[in-house]
Amino acid sequence: MKKFSEFISFLFHPLVMPLSGVIIYFLVSPKYVSLDIQKRLFFSILILTVFIPIVFFFLLKNVGLIKSLELREIKERKLPLLVYIIINAVIVFKIISKGFSIELHFFFVGIVGTLTSCLMLTFLDFKVSLHMTGISALTIFVIGLSFHFQKNLTPWISILLLAVGAVASARLYLKAHNNAEVWVGFFVGAVTQILAFNYWL
């Protein structure tokens, strides 16, 4: 069970959730976007939201500012969260414009809102489950796409809802978070995406 929980935590790591949203969007969107543009956007998001944060985390670990990449202590989360907010803000303002894709644009606006909420909660000595914010935000985004494009995305939504339960169970089993941190993580990720619906759905 421990190995399975670790696998689920790795598979649905919060760093890959923004990229997952981009991939799912291109798979289900009826809008035409050339494969070349899709590839360029994919690699841009991959570098910005996955590679750069990983390199930054290892740098912080090497200089002793964080003990592990899991950021178990609240004080370790503040700087990484701030950097990740800046990265996603760059995506919102420089990479994905409303003209290119209003859905993806506000998906990332929601992500910035989620991360900002998580950062604010660290100053209240509360450690939100970032795994839960990521998977819940992605799930709500896909539900929004289903309504927006009037497409039956039940298979995607079903898989993501199962993933929500699996991630919550894994984080609790590994004792990475308590019930409150998991639930707050779920609601923070979901509510920020729901608020973003006002601008594109």
The whole-number pLDDT of residue 122 equals 94
Q: How far does CA 71 lie from the centroid of its chain?
A: 16
- The confidence score (pLDDT) of residue 142 equals 97
Q: Is the confidence at residue 12, as pLDDT, over 90?
A: yes
Percent of the chain beyond pLDDT 70? Answer: 100
Hey, where are the domains in the chain?
Answer: 2-197
Q: How far apart are CA 19 and CA 79, in angstroms?
A: 22
Task: Determine the average pLDDT of the residues in 119-135.
Answer: 95
Structure tokens, 126: 């509360």
Tokens of 177: 């978070």
Q: How does pLDDT run across 82-96, given as a tens digit for each residue?
A: 999 999 999 999 999
**Interval 150-169: pLDDT, tens:** 999 999 999 999 999 999 99
